[in-house]
Structure 1
Amino acid sequence: MRTIDVTDAAWGTLLALQEGLADLEGGADPVTRVYGPIAGAKGPFVIAQVGQSLDGRIATPTGDARDVSGPDGLAHLHRCRALVDAVIVGVTTVTSDDPRLSVRIVEGRSPVRVVIDCRGDLSGGEGMFHDGGAPVIVFQSATAPPRTFGQAEVIRLKEDTCGLCTGAILQALADRGLQRVLVEGGAKTIARFIEAGHVDRLHVSVSPIIIGSGPSGINFSPIEFLSEARRPLTEVYSLGSDILFDCDLRSNPVLGRQGEQVSVANPT
């Protein structure tokens, strides 16, 4: 198993690559293979990230998600944030965890923060609206009660029977110059972006703890046979405290539901 060891020099090159000030060279080393596709993306690129336990849990049944990922798993998440233009979460992630979604552990700029709040469940008191951090965009249904959230931009989309269209969300972000996107949570939000065929890479960071019960990292629609399961090309790396599964979702088309339009519902 190869180890990801991100030196200051290597990280500086990735940040320069993100800004178009450097070129990818080689690509065989683990750091370049994992982070290069994000930093070097020339057009739309979507990555989903999950940090979970050995038994696939992201929190206890009471919702305690603190320290599920080890220190190196958290550093990996912050690197992903630093290399994208926007980070997406569902409303339940915000109301449950009140995340900052900022880059704090590594050098780099924080991405635009995007919340999918289909039916207008946000109160406006959530921390991200008042912390003076990166801009916030809220996606809501056109039928949700209209309201403002400080300086946040509210984008209202037509809702279908399942919620907000993932493609319409990504297009609205691209129209604002936000093409490299991290889908960070929750489990249903990640699943729906993947099921819609909109995710290029899936990173699953596994920490050596066993929780035993609680919510899982991704909630896909049920399948009947294992032949319908997704089997992407996957490389495995040691982050140090955690193990990273880097899944190339473009290497194998989504089976069973290929081409079907999938929407994001609320709650996540």
Structure 2
Amino acid sequence: MLFVDVTPKAWARILDIRRGRACACCGRWSAGERAALDLYGPLARRDLGPVTVGQIGQSLDGRVATVTGDARDVSGPDGLAHLHRMRALVDGVVIGVRTALHDSSRLTVRLCDGPNPDRIVIDPQGRLPDDAPALRDDGARRFVIQAVDRTRPNGVQVIRLDRHKNQLDPAEISARLRAEGLHSLLIEGGGITIARFLEAGLLTRLQVAIAPLLIGGGPQGLTLPSPSAELANALRPQMRAFSLGSDVLFDCGFTPAAAEAEQPQHIGLLDKSTG
């Protein structure tokens, strides 16, 4: 297992990779910094086409909250910092309306340097209040994807889709967001939303962060709408394991693009002092 050490120098390089100004290959790095580049470099790249990453934090026994719905401290401090780094590396972050209502998610970058992503809430019935934290105006674009005719405040863009079997189609959601220029997406939650994108074959990667606690009950992290009846048919992604410190991260690749993103990519650095 690789221990991740996100030093200021390593994170500056990762942000340069996001800007297309550097690669993760070159330079002199500690083992922990190299692990950070191996983890975040593939997510920061913009040269391999559209990428969709699911990320979920859960306990050792696979729970994302207690039986009363308390989910605030499932991830440890390093798991939370990782989530904020993920937000800083993508064009847009997507959550379902249940997560938006229950967690009052802001979806901003606060625990690291980097830009705030555009924010997208999937809200088929138009339940999200207009003053929800995810819809606050801070300069990032805000989208609500809904199946009803409901106006939103100025600056909030509505994507109107029809329901299929009483649900919005993840493929249609993805296509509409790509059309808005959002080529790198983080599906942050909740578990139902992530599972629908996973089963639709739309995830390039899935990250599962495990925190060292046992909850004993409560909602599970991922439950696919159509689970495998036999282990021979279960999903078996490529997998890498990283120690974040307080949490252990399983980084799973589902497409050829995921494997390609882990291959060397040499780009001349603008700042030779980091090479």
What TM-score, normalized to structure 1? 0.88
TM-aligned CA deviation for residue 23 of structure 1: 2.6
Identity %: 47
Where do residues 159-238 of structure 1 align in structure 2 (5 Å cutoff)?
A: 159-221=163-225, 222-238=227-243
The C-alpha deviation readout for 1:71-118, integer Å capped at 9, x for no partner, is 111111111000000000000001111110010001101100100001
Alignment partner, residue 115 of structure 1: 121
Which of residues 44, 50, 56 is equivalent to 1:44?
Answer: 50
| 1:266 match | none
The reply on whether 1:2 has 2:2 as its aligned counterpart is yes
Moved over 6 A (4+): none
Distance 2:186 2:62 in 1: 20
CA offsets 1:5-50 (integer angstroms, 9 cap, x no match)? 1111111011111111213325993222211111013220011101
C-alpha displacement of 1:2: 1.4
CA contact (8 A) 2:118 2:140 kept: yes
Which amino acid counterpart does residue 252 of structure 2 have in structure 1?
C
Aligned to 2:16: 16
Aligned residue number for residue 260 of structure 1: none
Q: What residue in structure 2 maps to residue 262 of structure 1?
A: none
Residue 245 (structure 1) aligned with residue 250 (structure 2): yes
2:36 to 31, 40, 44: 31
Match of 1:79 among 85, 90, 95: 85
Q: Which has the higher helix share?
A: 2
List aligned pairs for 1:128-147, cutoff 5 A. 128-130=134-136, 132=138, 134-141=140-147, 144-147=148-151
| Count of aligned residue pairs for this structure pair | 250
Q: Residue 153 of structure 2 aligns with which residue?
A: 149
Q: Equivalent residue of 2:175, what SS?
A: helix
Q: Per-residue CA shift, 1:94-153, capped at 9, x if unaligned? A: 111111001000110110010000121112231222353632100011xx1422134211
Q: What is the match of residue 256 of structure 1?
A: none
Matched residue type, 1:200: T
Q: State whether residues 187 and 194 of structure 2, in contact with CA within 8 Å, keep that contact through their aligned partners in structure 1.
A: yes
Q: 1:2 to 1:23 in 2, by over 3 A?
A: closer
Question: SS of 1:108's equivalent?
Answer: coil
Q: Deviations over 1:245-264 (max 9, x none)?
A: 0111126xxxxxxxxxxxxx
Q: Find the aligned partners of 2:94 and 2:245 in 1 and give their Cα distance.
A: 26
Equivalent residue number for residue 259 of structure 1 = none
Separation in 2, partners of 1:199, 1:223: 18
Paired amino acid for 1:2: L
SS of 1:164's equivalent in the other structure is: coil
Q: Which moved more, 1:148-157 or 1:11-20?
A: 148-157
More displaced stretch, 222-231 vs 96-105: 222-231
Contact 2:20 2:46 in 1 (8 A): no
223-232 vs 175-184, which moves further: 223-232
Task: Kindly indicate whether the alpha-carbon contact (under 8 Å) linking 1:24 and 1:40 is maintained by their aligned counterparts in 2.
Answer: no
Segments of structure 2 that go 5 or more residues without pairing to the other structure are 257-275
TM-score normalised per structure 2 = 0.86
